[in-house]
Amino acid sequence: MTGDPEVREEAPFVADEREMLRAWLDYHRATLLKKCQGLSPDQLATRSVPPSSMSLLGLVRHMADVEQNWFERVFSGIRAKPHYWQKEHTDDDFDGAAADNATEGLATFRSECARSQTIERESGSLDDRDAGGGISLRWIMVHMIEEYARHNGHADLLRECIDGAVGS
């Protein structure tokens, strides 16, 4: 695995647990970016069906905050301020997604993926736990795969509505 969120590599059929989890998580990160490739900022910010404010850009912004939350805030104990989530407006990742912040949103996502990958690679074991001792790195990685799998399904539908592109 390259670890580059721009390069989507198939997960191996045989690998140890950590390599397998890492490969699937990297695959899903790259899949979300693939769904955004070749689209204009306006297309990235195109909303799904009302009343939803979901868009591809909103998904990217949401996953940037999810990456930061689980790997930095929960696992590492770094008290970084979320990029988009706000106590007063918890859906700003989606509601605030607009064509004029598409470049920033994609850059933030890439940066958070890189931070998460570094944190994961520097940890000693999948059994390592957050500062509170209740959540293992293994659980976080499995949860992140689940989160991406669900949202990549949304991304498939959004992309098909935007320009008809289908596929994995």
Q: Residue 5 domain-assigned?
A: no
Give the pLDDT band of residue 86 (cuts 50, 70, 90).
confident
pLDDT for residue 1: 46
Q: What is the CATH number of the domain that holds 149?
A: 1.20.120.450
Q: Residue 134 domain-assigned?
A: yes
Q: Residue 94 domain-assigned?
A: yes
Quick one: which H or E segment has residue 164?
none
pLDDT above 80 (res 77)? yes
Prediction pTM value: 0.94
pLDDT above 80 (res 6)? no
DSSP state of 138: H
Give the pLDDT band of residue 87 (cuts 50, 70, 90).
confident
Q: Residue 12 domain-assigned?
A: no
Distance separating alpha carbons of residues 13 and 3, to the nearest angstrom: 18
Q: Residue 11 domain-assigned?
A: no
Q: Residue 115 domain-assigned?
A: yes
Per the structure, how many domains does the chain have?
1
89 and 69 Cβ atoms separated by less than 8 Å: no
Residue 118: domain span: 17-163
Per-residue buried b or exposed e for 65-100, using 16+ beta carbons within 10 Å of the residue's own CB: bbbbbbbbbbbbeeeeebbbbeeeeeebbbbbbeee
Distance separating alpha carbons of residues 147 and 65, to the nearest angstrom: 12
- Which residue carries 């890189």 as its tokens? 114
Distance separating alpha carbons of residues 146 and 6, to the nearest angstrom: 20
Q: Residue 135 domain-assigned?
A: yes
Q: For residue range 54-75, list pLDDT tens digits in order.
A: 999 999 999 999 999 999 999 9
119 and 71 Cβ atoms separated by less than 8 Å: yes
DSSP 59-103: HHHHHHHHHIIIIIIIII---PPPSS--SS-TTHHHHT--GGGHH
Give the up-direction half-sphere exposure of residue 48: CA atoms within 13 A in the CB hemisphere.
Answer: 19
Q: Residue 2 domain-assigned?
A: no
